[in-house]
Amino acid sequence: MSWHVLGAGSLGGLWAARLFRGGEPVRLILRDRTRLAQYRAGGGLRLTEGDTTSLYPLPAEAPEAGNSIRRLILACKSYDAEEAIASVAARLEPDAEILLLQNGLGSQDAVAARVPRARCLRASTTEGAFRETDFHVVAAGAGQTWIGDQLGTQAPPPWLDTLTALGFTLRWTDDIDARLWRKLAINCAINPLTVLHRCRNGELRQHASEVADLCSELAALLEAMGLAPAAQGLQQEVEAVITATANNRSSMLQDVERGQRTEVSYLLGHALPIAQRLRLPVPQLEALHQRLRARLEERGLPVD
């Protein structure tokens, strides 16, 4: 049974190359025929791991290709997810499974609403990869990927073991939304501040009280949402992530430095309306969002 990977960027490239290398039938879905021609001209997908770069001649196709899709890995950014799934919706088999790799929250519901018959599995990953050039991905640090159903009611898919054997570190969870919310909270406490202070993650240790104030409001929000376990020890984990990734530029800072749209709408922009609905005051988070939007505007980037 074939895999399709939609979005041949950093994570999509990493997943597709590993599947191909492991002997799994896998096809890339590129945005259009121009991208397809560019990809074919390069001879395939390059993956660098450590000192080794390999070229994998994965088959690729346009969204309107004729074959049907049974298992899809959706690997685009959150803000592209709904349009991307719409471009292949007509090709999905009735019992299709879609693995959603998007960070933050909000895009997963939008995708699921577009394809109500498909089984949409949500992932929260700490795997790292970046694009060296088009169709050349560099694996930037092993992480693990939690996968689950929205309602946590179904059994894990049997291919989880197959993928684990190919080198993916995958864990099944019955409460993926709690995992996604925890990661969202960590990203809200770190990423915007790295943009505002134009600093690497580790330099946030010089802004410890600002980080602590954000963590306290984020923990209160998780608790108010009935996600108390996801709130527990949040500040300590944020501090540990800051230390463990001290030398990294956050994904949001990298987006801003490259002049690309950020995923803020799926992080702070997703959390704040919920706090408002719950009538929970979160002044530090509101101020952070305002300051971030102003900075994005200054840089000529979308504020959502």
Residues classed as catalytic: 183
Among 190, 214, 215, 231, binds ligand KPL (CB under 6 A): 190
Q: Is 80 an interacting residue with respect to ligand NAD (CB under 6 A)?
A: yes
136 forms part of the interface with ligand NAD (CB under 6 A): no
Q: Which residue, 6 or 204, is less far from ligand NAD as judged by CB?
A: 6
CA-based radius of gyration for the chain: 19
User: Which of ligand KPL, ligand NAD, none lies near 21, with the C-beta cut-off 5 to 8 A by kind?
Assistant: none
Q: Are 102 and 74 in contact (CB under 8 A)?
A: yes
Cβ neighbours of 48 (radius 10 Å): 17
Least spacing, CB of residue 251 vs ligand NAD, in Å: 6
Query: Which amino acid, residue 25?
Result: P
Q: What's the one-letter identity of residue 107?
A: S
Closer Cβ to ligand KPL, 78 or 99, answer by number: 78
What is the nearest approach in angstroms of ligand NAD to the Cβ of residue 123? 9
Q: Is residue 250 a contact residue for ligand KPL (CB under 6 A)?
A: yes
Question: CB 231 → ligand NAD: shortest distance, Å?
Answer: 22
Which positions lie near ligand KPL, rule CB under 6 A? 186-187, 190-191, 201, 241, 245, 248, 250-251
